[in-house]
Amino acid sequence: MTGLQIVFIAVGVITFAAAVMVVVSRNLVHAALWLILALAGVAVLFVILEAGFLAIVQVAVYIDAIAILIIVTVMLTRHAMRDDEPQLNKTWIWSALAAILLFGGLLFLFNQVPDLVAQAAPLVETDDTYLEILGKSLVDVDRFVIPFEVASVLLLAAMIGAIVVARPPSSSSQEGGQE
Protein backbone atom coordinates (compact mmCIF):
# COMPACT_ATOMS: atom_id res chain seq x y z
CA MET A 1 0.00 0.00 0.00
CA THR A 2 1.55 3.26 -1.08
CA GLY A 3 1.52 6.54 0.79
CA LEU A 4 -1.00 8.03 -1.64
CA GLN A 5 -3.43 5.20 -0.95
CA ILE A 6 -3.16 5.78 2.81
CA VAL A 7 -3.84 9.49 2.26
CA PHE A 8 -6.83 8.62 0.06
CA ILE A 9 -8.29 6.25 2.65
CA ALA A 10 -7.84 8.80 5.44
CA VAL A 11 -9.44 11.60 3.38
CA GLY A 12 -12.20 9.29 2.17
CA VAL A 13 -13.08 8.16 5.70
CA ILE A 14 -13.12 11.77 6.94
CA THR A 15 -15.28 12.90 4.00
CA PHE A 16 -17.75 10.05 4.43
CA ALA A 17 -17.96 10.49 8.21
CA ALA A 18 -18.50 14.23 7.79
CA ALA A 19 -21.23 13.55 5.20
CA VAL A 20 -22.97 11.18 7.62
CA MET A 21 -22.73 13.79 10.39
CA VAL A 22 -24.32 16.40 8.07
CA VAL A 23 -27.32 14.15 7.66
CA VAL A 24 -27.76 12.97 11.26
CA SER A 25 -26.73 16.11 13.18
CA ARG A 26 -29.60 17.58 15.21
CA ASN A 27 -28.10 21.06 15.44
CA LEU A 28 -28.16 22.67 11.99
CA VAL A 29 -25.14 24.90 12.64
CA HIS A 30 -23.15 21.78 13.48
CA ALA A 31 -24.47 20.15 10.30
CA ALA A 32 -23.26 23.15 8.28
CA LEU A 33 -19.80 22.91 9.88
CA TRP A 34 -19.66 19.18 9.10
CA LEU A 35 -20.66 20.04 5.55
CA ILE A 36 -17.63 22.35 5.34
CA LEU A 37 -15.40 19.46 6.45
CA ALA A 38 -16.92 17.17 3.81
CA LEU A 39 -16.40 19.82 1.10
CA ALA A 40 -12.79 20.29 2.21
CA GLY A 41 -12.29 16.53 1.92
CA VAL A 42 -13.58 16.68 -1.66
CA ALA A 43 -11.10 19.52 -2.35
CA VAL A 44 -8.26 17.30 -1.08
CA LEU A 45 -9.49 14.52 -3.38
CA PHE A 46 -9.25 16.97 -6.31
CA VAL A 47 -5.64 17.66 -5.33
CA ILE A 48 -4.91 13.91 -5.23
CA LEU A 49 -6.46 13.69 -8.71
CA GLU A 50 -4.05 16.40 -9.93
CA ALA A 51 -6.79 18.91 -10.65
CA GLY A 52 -5.37 21.74 -8.57
CA PHE A 53 -7.42 24.54 -10.13
CA LEU A 54 -10.67 22.72 -9.38
CA ALA A 55 -9.57 22.29 -5.76
CA ILE A 56 -9.08 26.06 -5.50
CA VAL A 57 -12.47 26.71 -7.10
CA GLN A 58 -14.00 24.16 -4.71
CA VAL A 59 -12.62 26.09 -1.75
CA ALA A 60 -13.62 29.48 -3.18
CA VAL A 61 -17.13 28.55 -4.33
CA TYR A 62 -18.27 25.81 -1.97
CA ILE A 63 -16.45 26.38 1.30
CA ASP A 64 -16.49 30.14 0.96
CA ALA A 65 -19.69 31.18 -0.77
CA ILE A 66 -22.17 28.32 -0.44
CA ALA A 67 -21.22 27.35 3.12
CA ILE A 68 -21.49 30.97 4.29
CA LEU A 69 -24.87 31.27 2.53
CA ILE A 70 -26.11 28.12 4.29
CA ILE A 71 -24.84 29.22 7.71
CA VAL A 72 -26.46 32.65 7.34
CA THR A 73 -29.76 31.03 6.35
CA VAL A 74 -29.55 28.65 9.32
CA MET A 75 -29.04 31.61 11.64
CA LEU A 76 -31.87 33.63 10.05
CA THR A 77 -34.31 30.73 10.46
CA ARG A 78 -32.96 29.61 13.83
CA HIS A 79 -36.26 29.57 15.74
CA ALA A 80 -38.41 27.89 13.12
CA MET A 81 -37.52 24.36 14.27
CA ARG A 82 -36.28 23.37 17.70
CA ASP A 83 -33.37 20.96 17.99
CA ASP A 84 -35.25 18.57 20.27
CA GLU A 85 -38.14 17.83 17.94
CA PRO A 86 -37.71 14.96 15.45
CA GLN A 87 -35.38 15.90 12.61
CA LEU A 88 -36.38 13.02 10.34
CA ASN A 89 -39.79 12.61 8.76
CA LYS A 90 -42.07 9.64 9.29
CA THR A 91 -40.92 7.74 6.21
CA TRP A 92 -37.20 7.99 6.95
CA ILE A 93 -36.86 4.21 7.14
CA TRP A 94 -37.93 3.95 3.48
CA SER A 95 -35.49 6.70 2.57
CA ALA A 96 -32.69 4.76 4.28
CA LEU A 97 -33.76 1.62 2.44
CA ALA A 98 -33.74 3.48 -0.89
CA ALA A 99 -30.26 4.91 -0.22
CA ILE A 100 -28.85 1.50 0.80
CA LEU A 101 -30.45 -0.18 -2.21
CA LEU A 102 -28.97 2.44 -4.53
CA PHE A 103 -25.53 1.98 -2.96
CA GLY A 104 -25.77 -1.80 -3.28
CA GLY A 105 -26.90 -1.48 -6.89
CA LEU A 106 -24.00 0.83 -7.70
CA LEU A 107 -21.49 -1.55 -6.09
CA PHE A 108 -22.99 -4.40 -8.13
CA LEU A 109 -22.63 -2.25 -11.27
CA PHE A 110 -18.95 -1.47 -10.52
CA ASN A 111 -18.27 -5.20 -10.37
CA GLN A 112 -19.81 -5.69 -13.81
CA VAL A 113 -17.66 -3.14 -15.63
CA PRO A 114 -14.22 -4.58 -16.38
CA ASP A 115 -12.64 -1.28 -17.49
CA LEU A 116 -12.72 0.22 -14.01
CA VAL A 117 -9.40 -1.37 -13.03
CA ALA A 118 -7.67 0.94 -15.52
CA GLN A 119 -4.64 2.70 -14.11
CA ALA A 120 -4.24 6.43 -14.59
CA ALA A 121 -1.69 7.33 -17.22
CA PRO A 122 0.72 10.01 -16.04
CA LEU A 123 -0.34 13.47 -17.15
CA VAL A 124 1.44 14.51 -20.32
CA GLU A 125 1.42 18.24 -19.62
CA THR A 126 2.28 20.28 -16.55
CA ASP A 127 -0.44 21.70 -14.33
CA ASP A 128 -0.10 25.19 -15.81
CA THR A 129 -0.68 23.88 -19.30
CA TYR A 130 -3.92 22.21 -18.23
CA LEU A 131 -5.11 25.44 -16.66
CA GLU A 132 -4.29 27.27 -19.88
CA ILE A 133 -6.11 24.67 -22.00
CA LEU A 134 -9.11 24.84 -19.66
CA GLY A 135 -9.26 28.62 -19.80
CA LYS A 136 -8.88 28.76 -23.57
CA SER A 137 -11.42 26.01 -24.22
CA LEU A 138 -14.01 27.83 -22.08
CA VAL A 139 -13.96 30.86 -24.39
CA ASP A 140 -13.22 29.02 -27.64
CA VAL A 141 -16.06 29.42 -30.14
CA ASP A 142 -15.57 25.88 -31.38
CA ARG A 143 -15.62 24.34 -27.93
CA PHE A 144 -17.37 25.41 -24.73
CA VAL A 145 -18.19 29.08 -25.12
CA ILE A 146 -21.97 28.49 -25.34
CA PRO A 147 -22.25 26.35 -22.17
CA PHE A 148 -19.97 28.86 -20.45
CA GLU A 149 -22.13 31.85 -21.43
CA VAL A 150 -25.34 29.99 -20.61
CA ALA A 151 -23.90 29.21 -17.17
CA SER A 152 -23.06 32.86 -16.58
CA VAL A 153 -26.54 34.01 -17.66
CA LEU A 154 -28.04 31.32 -15.41
CA LEU A 155 -25.94 32.55 -12.48
CA LEU A 156 -26.94 36.19 -13.10
CA ALA A 157 -30.63 35.25 -13.39
CA ALA A 158 -30.39 33.14 -10.23
CA MET A 159 -28.80 35.98 -8.25
CA ILE A 160 -31.43 38.51 -9.38
CA GLY A 161 -34.16 35.96 -8.70
CA ALA A 162 -32.76 35.24 -5.24
CA ILE A 163 -32.76 38.96 -4.38
CA VAL A 164 -36.36 39.37 -5.60
CA VAL A 165 -37.59 36.25 -3.80
CA ALA A 166 -35.86 37.00 -0.51
CA ARG A 167 -36.98 40.62 -0.27
CA PRO A 168 -39.26 41.40 2.68
CA PRO A 169 -42.93 41.19 1.64
CA SER A 170 -43.74 44.66 3.05
CA SER A 171 -41.34 46.56 0.80
CA SER A 172 -42.49 44.74 -2.32
CA SER A 173 -46.16 45.48 -1.60
CA GLN A 174 -45.39 49.19 -1.13
CA GLU A 175 -43.98 49.33 -4.63
CA GLY A 176 -46.91 47.44 -6.06
CA GLY A 177 -44.71 44.43 -6.77
CA GLN A 178 -46.87 42.01 -4.80
CA GLU A 179 -46.70 38.55 -6.29
Site for another protein in 80-139 (CB under 8 A): 80-81, 86-89, 91-92, 94-96, 98-100, 102-103, 106-107, 110, 115-121, 123-124, 130, 133-134, 137-138
How far is the C-alpha of 58 from the C-alpha of 55, rounded, in Å? 5
Question: Shortest gap between Cβ of 175 and another protein (angstroms)?
Answer: 16
What are the distances in angstroms from CA 66 to CA 59, 69, 153?
10, 5, 19
How far is the C-alpha of 72 from the C-alpha of 81, rounded, in Å? 15
Rg over alpha carbons for the chain, rounded to the nearest Å, is: 22
Interaction residues for another protein, span 27-86 (CB under 8 A): 28, 31-32, 35, 38-39, 42, 45-46, 48-51, 53-54, 57-58, 61-62, 65-66, 69-70, 73-74, 76-77, 80-81, 86
Contact string (CB under 8 A) for another protein, positions 137-156, x = contact: xx-----x--xx--xx-xx-
From candidates 114, 126, 141, 168, binder to another protein by CB under 8 A: 168
Question: Shortest gap between Cβ of 176 and another protein (angstroms)?
Answer: 18
How far is the C-alpha of 57 from the C-alpha of 43, rounded, in Å? 9
From candidates 16, 127, 139, 177, binder to another protein by CB under 8 A: 16
User: Which is closer to another protein, CB of 141 or CB of 166?
Assistant: 166
**Count of residues touching another protein (by CB under 8 A):** 88
Q: Which amino acid is at 60?
A: A
Task: Report the C-alpha dihedral over residues 148, 149, 154, 159, rounded to 10 degrees.
Answer: 100
Work out the angle at residue 115's Cα, subtended by the Cα atoms of residues 114 and 121, and round it to the nearest 5 degrees: 150
